[in-house]
Chain A
Amino acid sequence: MKLPESLAEQVIAHARAEFPNECCGLIAGHGDVATRVLPTTNAEGTPFMYVMDPREQMELMDAIDDAGEDLVAIYHSHTRSAAYPSKTDVELAFFDQPLYVIVSLQHPDEPVLRAFRLARSAPDGEQIAEEPVEID
């Protein structure tokens, strides 16, 4: 995906603002080009789990759809672990089209942002595919 630097900074700033809890949100755009970041509420509000507020999710997905945009990615943070999908991330990855972006604040001064395509129903070993993120 192509992610303008200002949007990457917004995602990282959101992760830092919610620390020590995980943050979550959506990235809208066209095709694989991100154009805006939509922060949402983590209804779970813990350092180990995110559940996007369902009403915000519904409203924002409708808004993105109605605007003719694409849901490019769903993002969340890992506050104490690497930017790599956990078992829970894979088990709950219902969405096969948008990418799953993970921001790690494991090393707070060196945040890491990576993107993955997740397929929860695929065989073991084929559920996680990293996708390149071009930040410019």
Chain B
Amino acid sequence: MSTVKIPPVLRQAVGGERAVDVAGETVGEVLTALCDQHPAVGAQILTPDGELHKYVNVYVNGEDARLLQWTDTPVGDGDTVMILPAMAGGAR
């Protein structure tokens, strides 16, 4: 069971919780379970194809999951997963 830290932008989607415990042995499984439990989160962080949006970052114990094994990164008891949509945009 991993703890998923919920930033303020996603808190309403999980009923106001700052963190939720989610089962899963990899980052991908945890995110899938989170989005199954809280579909409003999925609406914000997944593309229409169900993939994690390119501009949504995920950290495992403070490390960028894309620099680990991305969605295959193993997680378990005591690990903290943080989802953080990027702040991005631009004139073009």
A54 with B91: CB separation less than 8 A = no
Q: Size of chain A's interface in residues, with CB distance under 8 A?
A: 37
A contact residues vs B (CB 8 Å cutoff): 22, 24, 26, 44, 46-52, 54, 57-58, 61, 65, 71, 74, 76, 78-81, 85-86, 88-97, 100, 121
Tell me the minimal C-beta distance from A13 to chain B in angstroms.
Answer: 19
B87 with A79: CB separation less than 8 A = no
Residues of B close to A57: CB separation below 8 A: 84, 86-87
8 contacts between A and B (CB under 8 A): A46-B90, A52-B87, A61-B7, A86-B89, A90-B89, A92-B88, A95-B87, A97-B9
Q: Which of B9, B43, B87 has the most CB of A within 10 A?
A: B87
B85 with A49: CB separation less than 8 A = no
With A and B bound together, what is the CA distance between A61 and B86 in angstroms?
12
Q: Given A26, A58, A90, which contacts B82 in the complex, CB threshold below 8 Å?
A: A58
